[in-house]
Structure 1
Amino acid sequence: MNTSDNTIKLDQFLKFVGIAPTGGQAKLMIQEGDVKVNGTIETRRGRKLISGDKVTVEGQTFEVEIN
């Protein structure tokens, strides 16, 4: 998590919440269009997320919370 600008990359977030066991798995899920950010399919694994963003994978939605 990059706390200096209060963001986290999408692939890192998927690992952090336990959706993807590895960065490679996260990358595949994102590239295959399996991940939505705020209701829109996101294919950029480096997409920066901020607090309040909602990430949806396999019907589960996670809210980004960065302290």
Structure 2
Amino acid sequence: MDIPIRDESIRLGQLLKLAGLVEDGAQAKELLADDAVTVDGEPESRRGRQVAVGAVVEVSLPRGVERVVVTSA
């Protein structure tokens, strides 16, 4: 799914919430601690990581892998 943002980047935790993959920061923290999130193919554990337009974020969830592409609004 494509997620448009207004700025040039967004924090990873905010992106996960915006995409509807987590309800709050605590859930985001759990996913990141479980190594369930990659940014451009690299594992990521920092909720505050800046994710730029064009980045691809993949999240492994019980229902399968969700792929998010950050686009410019």
* Superposition TM-score, scaled by structure 1 size: 0.86
- The root-mean-square deviation of aligned C-alpha atoms, in Å, is 1.5
Counterpart CA distance in 1 for 2:12 and 2:59 is 12
Unaligned runs of 5+ in 2: none
Query: Which structure shows the higher strand fraction?
Result: 2
Q: How many residues end up aligned between the 2 structures? A: 65
Within 5 A, what are the aligned runs for 1:26-37?
26-37=28-39
* Superposition TM-score, scaled by structure 2 size: 0.79
Structure having greater relative contact order (Cα 8 Å, sep ≥ 6)? 2
Structure 1 consecutive aligned stretches of length 4 or more whose deviation exceeds 6 Å:
none
Identical counterparts, % of pairs: 34
